[in-house]
């Protein structure tokens, strides 16, 4: 279990999977920070999931900002309760479910794009930049680098096909733009982990087609998911957002995630 003196930093917590993960994190009594473009949206989502304002006040610090705002990212990554010593400590884990909004376009080959086709790569680049700036300004922080867990997708593996036959045109043709971005995010995370990198460890989550929303009461439960790895993926059609969030909580947030470092994990029903 993560030490109570550290916190988990969330990016994209108004998204379904990440919001569910944050709900479980707060219910477990852990401390968290979150970057949100619209903090009231995040607070309303948490209230709707039964998280009281007292819990939010005691355990969660929300920073308003866009993922392009390096200063806001640094705030989200930094422990603000470092006490009177003035020492800066960092989040022990980063959970990012940042993603764009799908948009239709006039193209037969690529009918679906997203409002910001490089949002995942940009978010990862900026989190790395923020961490490197913190390490440079306060070298002691580099002794306790955070891990990162990112939500990618199936359909981006160079090793083994992880998309069911009936979905392959959807995944490899229609969704080519967002998947190019996810692939770049995975590359950035992998290349910046370990010696000299920004992250202590990295976990890449590849859910199949996401269904449902963040409501933790609506999921089937994380233990019912089929779980695969890149060389032996679990191939399936859909998975509930709330279950993906709960799986990340149970297998990464709660445990520290070390057993999953370096893995690209497929999650499906």
Ligand X SMILES: NC(=O)c1ccc[n+]([C@@H]2O[C@H](COP(=O)([O-])OP(=O)(O)OC[C@H]3O[C@@H](n4cnc5c(N)ncnc54)[C@H](OP(=O)(O)O)[C@@H]3O)[C@@H](O)[C@H]2O)c1
In the chain, the largest separation of any two C-alpha atoms, in whole Å, equals 60
Tell the residue number behind the tokens 């995942």, with chain if given.
Answer: 120
d(CA 207, CA 219): 14
Selected binder of ligand X within 22, 119, 202, 265 (CB under 6 A): 119
Candidates 130-138, 186-194, 204-212, 247-255; binding stretch for ligand X (CB under 6 A): 204-212
Q: Kindly determine how many residues on this chain lie close enough to bind ligand X according to the rule CB under 6 A.
A: 24
Read off the DSSP letter of residue 229.
Answer: E
| Residue number, 138 or 250, with CB nearest to ligand X | 250
Which one of the spans 53-61, 93-101, 217-225, 252-260 is the region binding ligand X (CB under 6 A)?
A: 93-101
Cβ atoms within 10 Å of 53's Cβ, excluding its own: 10
Inter-helix orientation angle 241-248/16-27, to 10°: 50
Alpha-helical regions (H) of 90-149: 119-137
Least gap, CB of 245 to ligand X (angstroms) = 8
Q: Which is nearer to ligand X, 138 or 215 (CB)?
A: 215
By the rule CB under 6 A, 179 interacts with ligand X = no
Residue 60 in the binding site for ligand X (CB under 6 A): no
**CA-to-CA distance for 39 and 172, rounded, in angstroms?**
35
Q: Which of 241, 246, 256, 265 binds ligand X (CB under 6 A)?
A: 241
DSSP assigned state of 111: -
DSSP 25: H
For ligand X, the closer of residues 97 and 236 by Cβ is 97
88 versus 211: smaller Cβ distance to ligand X: 211
Reduced DSSP (H G I as helix, E B as strand, rest coil) percent helix, strand, coil of the chain, to 5 = 40, 20, 40
| Residue with smaller CB distance to ligand X, 17 or 90 | 17
Which of the stretches 9-17, 54-62, 246-254, 260-268 binds ligand X when contact is defined by CB under 6 A?
9-17
Select from 8, 23, 46, 67 the one that contacts ligand X (CB under 6 A).
67
The answer to whether 200 contacts ligand X (rule: CB under 6 A) is: no
Partners of 151 in beta bridges: 205
* Near ligand X by CB under 6 A: residue from 48, 53, 66, 169: 66
Q: Is 210 in the site for ligand X (CB under 6 A)?
A: yes
Q: Is 153 in the site for ligand X (CB under 6 A)?
A: yes
Quote the CA–CA distance of 269 and 253 in Å, as a whole number. 21
11-30 positions binding ligand X, by CB under 6 A: 12-18
Q: Which two tokens stand for residue 191?
A: 């290349």
Provide DSSP, 146-199: PEEEEE--SS--SSS--S-GGGHHIIIIITHHHHHHHHHHHHHHHHTBSTTSSB
Residue 5 makes contact with ligand X by CB under 6 A: no
**121 to 150, contacts with ligand X by CB under 6 A?**
none
Backbone angles phi, psi at 32, to 5 degrees: -145, 155
Chain contacts with ligand X (rule: CB under 6 A): 12-18, 37-38, 41, 66-67, 97-99, 119-120, 151, 153, 178, 207, 209-210, 241
């Amino acid at each position: 279990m993560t030490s109570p003196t550290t916190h988990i930093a969330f990016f994209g917590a108004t998204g379904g999977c990440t919001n569910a993960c944050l709900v479980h994190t707060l219910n477990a009594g852990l401390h968290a920070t979150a970057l949100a473009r619209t903090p009231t949206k995040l607070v309303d989502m948490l209230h709707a999931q039964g998280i009281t304002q007292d819990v939010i006040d005691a355990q969660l610090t929300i920073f308003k900002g866009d993922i392009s705002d390096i200063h806001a990212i640094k705030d989200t990554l930094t422990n603000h309760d470092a006490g009177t010593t003035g020492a800066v400590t960092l989040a022990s884990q980063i959970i990012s479910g940042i993603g764009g909004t799908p948009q239709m376009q006039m193209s037969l080959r690529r009918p679906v794009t997203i409002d910001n086709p490089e949002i995942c790569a940009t978010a990862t680049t900026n989190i790395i930049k923020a961490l490197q700036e913190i390490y440079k300004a306060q070298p002691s922080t580099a002794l306790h680098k955070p891990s990162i867990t990112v939500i990618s997708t199936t359909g981006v593996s160079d090793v083994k096909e992880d998309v069911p036959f009936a979905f392959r045109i959807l995944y490899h043709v229609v969704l080519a733009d967002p998947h190019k971005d996810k692939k770049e995010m995975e590359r950035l995370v992998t290349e910046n982990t370990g010696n000299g990198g920004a992250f202590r460890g990295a976990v890449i989550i590849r859910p199949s087609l996401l269904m449902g929303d963040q409501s933790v009461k609506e999921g089937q439960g994380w233990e019912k998911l089929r779980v695969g790895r890149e060389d032996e993926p679990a191939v399936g059609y859909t998975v509930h957002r709330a279950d993906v969030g709960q799986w990340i909580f149970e297998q990464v947030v709660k445990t520290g995630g070390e057993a999953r470092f370096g893995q690209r994990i497929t999650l499906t029903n």
